[in-house]
Structure 1
Amino acid sequence: MTPARTTAVAAYATLGTVWGFNFVFMHMASPYISAEQTTLLRIAFGLVPVVVFALVKRAFAWRHLRHTHHFVVMSVLATGLYYYAYAAGTYRLDSGIAGALSGSIPLFAFLAAVVALRTEPFTVRKAAGLAIGALGVVVLARPWAAGAVDTTGVLYMLLGSASLGASFAYARRFISPLGIPAAASATYQMVLAGASLTVVTDLDGITAIMDDPLALAGVALGLGAIGTGLAFILYYITIARLGALTASTATYIPPVVAVIIGATFLREPVLPTTILAIVLILAAAGVIQMPFSGGRLRPGGYVRKREPRTCSTNTEA
């Protein structure tokens, strides 16, 4: 294995692990500050590494400003709403369960591509994948055990996954054709999201997290600088060296990591249903993301699926 590939594989493994830890860091912040405040701090501290990386890459250009309207949409889908929904969901759930639900991102990304782009073949196999994923969510939510799992928390997590999934389709259609470097796009959307959240977030009590230095470090460094900023750089390296398809499979790692970390450090229970749900959700994601080599029947006959473009400027979890 060449040094470059070794670095890429290490970035891939680290990326999945970092994303898994994010749920623990959000959980640590919950006793002190609101989900909105956690989201704002995450963006503020996560923005620094991304800006530095973009400057090193000389990614910024004044001509990008003409596309601000697209960055506004991405700031909602891929940053503001996505981060807030995940924080709000994690506040209501065990970090392991929240992490397991993040495995639904590929399912929503596929649905968004089918609905908005009409480039993804909706085959029987992929329909079965969606059904398996839905079953995994139901097993995780355990509706038959009233009050066992916070339904609102589950819905928030699914909202976050749906928001990020929709952002992939939007970026592929409107951002990728512009040829704007991913580092620049990520910076613009994070700046816009941070500015919007600053206006709408009640900042009263945000300093309460300073009462717990560990929780503060978790949000500022773990969730922000590393879990968001460094995660973007790792994702960038993984895509550049291993390809977009391989990079996308890093989303399989966080659910497992979140469950292990939650059980180890937060003493969260790991039920058989949780393990079963993770297996179902990740299996569904694998089925849906499996490369398609056939065709789908249309009125004019079979058509081949085009190779998707790399378009993501997002960081998971």
Structure 2
Amino acid sequence: MSLNIALGVVWGCSFIFIKLGLEFLTPIGVAFGRVSLGALTLVFWARFKGIDLPTNKKLWFHLWVVALLLNVVPGFLFAFAETKVTSILAGIINAVTPLMTLLAIMIAFREERPKNYQVLGLLTGFVGVLTVLGAWKGLGTNPLIAVLALLLAVTCYGVSFPYSRKYVLPHKLKPEAIAAAQVSMGALTLLPFYLVDGIAKDEYRPGPVFAMIALGVFGSGFAYIWNFKIMEAAGSAIASTVTYVTPVVAVIVGIIFLGEQVSWYEPLGATIVLIGAAIGQGRIKTFNR
């Protein structure tokens, strides 16, 4: 549980770090910056601990897929969306991850039919998403393209958890080795895009620079070790529940440090989303099973 909270705090702060990083980097630059710093951190840590990187070529392919789902695509999409919406909204939408994980488990990673409580959880979560977005107001001031980017990003997150548990964790490698290899693959994938379009302006204020360092070292570094340890110990559904903590942290730091405004329906919608996730994971009993 302590790792879950630590991971939630780190990833909750990541949305304000992204917003600050965008002061001098493009969305591609933010995505590459965080994974490259994360990769350096993780490789150094693995070496320090005397842990070798994987040698299985097939496993490296699966790690590349996980990197796409957990680092490359969401890293760009969240940064892109935050050029148009608040870090608070990005953090709240991130709370949909457990629902996307549940949906991926139901559809792609097991054969049994969905249970009634799982369907109810997904429907409840969908209502929560609509509430967060203020759907009755036509999404308010939030551009549709940014909302779609956020939803696609959390869909990638949702698929990554069961994919990792099915194709990566059975190899029984150290979490440090898995995380270092995965994030390194993400950095290599983003490198050519960064070289083409990575820097927005040649102004490097200390605040944004330190935000990017924290985002990389912790948000894409040590956080992934903790993430794999949680999945290994408790499963992909439990690992995805870190997003119960993430939106709370994102709202608090967004208000305090960026002075962002939060509409009354955003935390309400986030609460409904989290209730939906709890129902879908069987944490709240609604049916006889």
> In the alignment, residue 279 of structure 2 is paired with which amino acid?
V
Query: What corresponds to 1:271 in structure 2?
Result: 263
> In the alignment, residue 118 of structure 1 is paired with which amino acid?
R
The answer to whether structure 1 residue 224 and structure 2 residue 227 are counterparts is no
TM-score (norm 2): 0.88
Q: Following the alignment from structure 1 to structure 2, what is the Cα–Cα distance between the partners of residues 209 and 29?
A: 12
2:153 to 148, 160, 164: 160
Q: Percent identity?
A: 27
* Contact residue 109 and residue 162 of structure 2 kept, 8 A: yes
Q: Following the alignment from structure 1 to structure 2, what is the Cα–Cα distance between the partners of residues 21 and 265?
A: 11
Name the larger-Rg structure.
Answer: 1
Query: What corresponds to 1:80 in structure 2?
Result: 72
- The CA deviation at 1:185 is 2.1
Query: What corresponds to 2:24 in structure 1?
Result: 32
- The CA deviation at 1:183 is 2.1
Q: Following the alignment from structure 2 to structure 1, what is the Cα–Cα distance between the partners of residues 253 and 58?
A: 44
Call closer, same or farther: CA 1:58–1:116 in 2, change over 3 Å.
farther
1:192 to 185, 198, 202: 185
Query: What corresponds to 1:206 in structure 2?
Result: 199
- Structure 2: gaps of 5 or more residues: none
Q: Following the alignment from structure 1 to structure 2, what is the Cα–Cα distance between the partners of residues 168 and 246?
A: 10
* Contact residue 132 and residue 284 of structure 1 kept, 8 A: yes
Q: Following the alignment from structure 1 to structure 2, what is the Cα–Cα distance between the partners of residues 275 and 292?
A: 20
SS at match of 2:256: helix
Q: Following the alignment from structure 2 to structure 1, what is the Cα–Cα distance between the partners of residues 113 and 151?
A: 23
2:137 to 136, 142, 145: 145
SS at match of 2:108: helix
Q: Following the alignment from structure 1 to structure 2, what is the Cα–Cα distance between the partners of residues 145 and 202?
A: 40
- The CA deviation at 1:271 is 1.5
Q: Following the alignment from structure 2 to structure 1, what is the Cα–Cα distance between the partners of residues 112 and 221?
A: 30
Q: Following the alignment from structure 2 to structure 1, what is the Cα–Cα distance between the partners of residues 58 and 45?
A: 22
Deviations 1:205-241 (A, max 9, x none): 6273643210111012x2111222122244456567x
* Contact residue 35 and residue 88 of structure 1 kept, 8 A: yes
SS at match of 1:117: coil
1:104 to 96, 104, 123: 96
Q: Following the alignment from structure 1 to structure 2, what is the Cα–Cα distance between the partners of residues 83 and 185?
A: 19
Query: What corresponds to 1:171 in structure 2?
Result: 164
* Contact residue 28 and residue 198 of structure 2 kept, 8 A: no
* Contact residue 90 and residue 157 of structure 1 kept, 8 A: no
* Contact residue 161 and residue 240 of structure 2 kept, 8 A: no
The answer to whether structure 1 residue 53 and structure 2 residue 45 are counterparts is yes
Q: Following the alignment from structure 1 to structure 2, what is the Cα–Cα distance between the partners of residues 291 and 60?
A: 38
* Contact residue 71 and residue 183 of structure 2 kept, 8 A: yes
Query: What corresponds to 2:242 in structure 1?
Result: 250
Q: Following the alignment from structure 1 to structure 2, what is the Cα–Cα distance between the partners of residues 111 and 204?
A: 34
Call closer, same or farther: CA 1:31–1:143 in 2, change over 3 Å.
farther
Q: Following the alignment from structure 1 to structure 2, what is the Cα–Cα distance between the partners of residues 63 and 226?
A: 26
Call closer, same or farther: CA 1:185–1:119 in 2, change over 3 Å.
farther
TM-score (norm 1): 0.81
Q: Following the alignment from structure 1 to structure 2, what is the Cα–Cα distance between the partners of residues 189 and 165?
A: 17
CA RMSD in angstroms comes to 2.6
Tell me which moved more, 161-170 or 198-207. Answer: 198-207
Call closer, same or farther: CA 1:120–1:176 in 2, change over 3 Å.
farther
> In the alignment, residue 41 of structure 1 is paired with which amino acid?
G
Give the length in aligned residue pairs.
286
> In the alignment, residue 17 of structure 2 is paired with which amino acid?
F
Deviations 1:263-314 (A, max 9, x none): 1121111211112111111111111223699997xxxxxxxxxxxxxxxxxx
Tell me which moved more, 187-196 or 46-55. Answer: 46-55
